[in-house]
Chains A and B, each alone.
Chain A
């Protein structure tokens, strides 16, 4: 028996959320009194033994030309093979876009209980009970598994990692032939951008910024903080910023350590996507903006005055720390 964890990599480099998934799997496996098998799929230039630092006892590296890039059906078939050939209890994966694509396929392939959007460690493991976010961050629901096997998809940057020291044995599985029923044509990555679900700090702008030409102010602040940039729904609807930056109920839900909202009033639909941020700073000229009620820190005033001053103060802080 064991817990399998999918460690996603992008162009051969592990995603940060993969380490979080391994750490989650290790803590879940410890509750169950069992071990962790980390599965790496496709070519990976990172040292696989790094997964031991998060608690992987075994690493299975499935790699051949049919697995060069992500495909939901073929990647799911690899994980199903890893579960079945090791009689594992279930699978842990990170709720990235790719994780969300394969979770349901695993659930059907394994006839498993799928619990997504998981935001904390299991409350119990027999039966498996775990809390997940629901109602677009307006509530939580504790789910119980009614099947023998489980698939848990965890919220990126939601639970964090615990570093341990486990020496893991690494096994290469080259011969696995993976079926597929769709084909990648091309990939277009946003240049230099930090993917929002992974960003620890996010700086976000709303209609209060008056136009796309003013976004350099947001980008300057983000660059000092090493932050991702985001926007409110009206801003994406008016095409000031791409839809991939829209955070909120019908955009991306994020939970960074720090969220700085500039010129966003804080409509309930926006809060639904950001209210799980650990610290929220709101900068708005309207003292009555509803966002202040959901914020930890607020500044009332003109963003065009405050944001450059904040960027300068942070530059000074970074220089000293």
Chain B
């Protein structure tokens, strides 16, 4: 099975997010960038499929040269080769068009990625890629098996789970459950050494669409100081929730 895993290059989950003084962009000073955590589930699942069914795992990122360490980390985790599409990822639609162009040329059987990136939280790219390719799309996938060219996937829905079948090729947007947290692979020394010599190909950008533009970045309003209630007087909390917060 020829698998493509799409990877976003995002600020580490513990990052303090700050914007530039003019509010026009993220201030990346001092920020550590990592593989998007949702994409890590997709990558590990792809490696399992390869080990069980044979084939290859390619990782791709749409970004400039500064994202290459993130792709190298994916190679160290076990991907066979990497592709960087040389474009600033300004908008979900543009990223989806870049990926669509690559996938049309390379004929993958399965395209896996996280359901969203933890920076822009778009939940856009996987579904758009599927629509551009006219392939089946499974979002919020928490379990998946492939047999005889048919994928059986479990997806999260509001208040439960749905099991869905679709033929390959297809696009799957995964999250925790696709593999468990404890099963996520981390690079070992051998992986890190071999990652240096694995192929990392840079391809030019093809997308011309501008669907949306970010015009202003803002921080949420700060919270008022927390009101402490004595543990001997929980009734006071009930009063505050009713009369002050109007939450009950």
Contacts and interface: CB of A to CB of B under 8 A. Distances in A.
A186 interface: yes
A134 B159 CA distance: 24
Interface stretch (B81-89, B104-112, B185-193, B205-213): B205-213
A306 B37 CA distance: 35
A138 interface: yes
Contact of B142 (A243, A257, A292, A298): A243
B176 A116 contact: no
Contact of B212 (A140, A143, A185, A295): A143
Nearest to B92: A114
B128 A100 contact: no
Given A97-B158, A250-B38, A144 B164 contact: no
Main secondary structure of the interface of A (DSSP, over half): mixed
Contacts of A198: 158
Interface residues of B, number: 85
A201 B247 contact: yes
Contacts of A258: 241, 245, 247-248
A187 B157 contact: yes
Given A103-B127, A310-B234, A310-B237, A269 B13 contact: yes
A211 interface: no
B100 to A, nearest CB: 9
Interface residues of A, number: 99
Contact of A182 (B140, B157, B164): B164
A197 B158 contact: yes
A141 B134 CA distance: 30
B32 interface: no
Contact of B228 (A140, A142, A236, A299): A299
A115 B181 CA distance: 30
B238 A310 contact: yes
Interface stretch (B47-55, B65-73, B195-203, B219-227): B219-227
A244 interface: yes
Contacts of B26: 135
A189 interface: yes
A73 B136 contact: yes
A103 B123 contact: yes
B215 interface: yes
A148 to B, nearest CB: 11
Contacts of B163: 184-188
B93 A114 contact: yes
Contacts of B130: 104-105
A301 to B, nearest CB: 3
B231 interface: yes
Contact of B215 (A142, A147, A313): A142
Could you say which of A138, A145, A276 has the most chain B C-beta atoms within 10 Å of its C-beta? A138
Contacts of A187: 157, 160-163
Could you say which of B130, B161, B211, B238 has the most chain A C-beta atoms within 10 Å of its C-beta? B211
A294 B223 contact: yes
B229 A139 contact: no
A300 B123 CA distance: 38
A198 to B, nearest CB: 7
Contacts of B176: 236, 243, 246, 250-251
A268 interface: yes
Contacts of A109: 131
Interface in B128-165: 128, 130-132, 134-140, 142, 152, 155-165
A47 interface: no
Interface string B161-185: 1111111001000011100111000
Contacts of B164: 182-185
A253 B92 CA distance: 20
Nearest to B97: A108
Contact of A249 (B37, B127, B132): B37
Nearest to B151: A182
A253 B118 CA distance: 11
Name the 9 nearest CB pairs between A and B, nearest first. Answer: A104-B127, A301-B231, A195-B159, A189-B160, A108-B131, A182-B166, A258-B247, A138-B17, A142-B216
Given A73-B136, A95-B123, A296-B226, 11 more contacts: A10-B159, A97-B155, A100-B123, A105-B131, A136-B121, A139-B220, A201-B248, A257-B247, A272-B118, A279-B241, A292-B228
5 contacts: A129-B215, A139-B218, A188-B160, A257-B247, A298-B226
Interface of A: 10, 15, 70, 72-73, 76, 95-98, 100-105, 107-109, 112-117, 129, 131, 133-147, 153, 181-190, 193-195, 197-198, 201, 225, 236-237, 243-244, 246, 249-251, 253, 257-258, 268-269, 272, 275-276, 278-279, 281-282, 292-302, 305-306, 309-310, 313-314, 317, 321
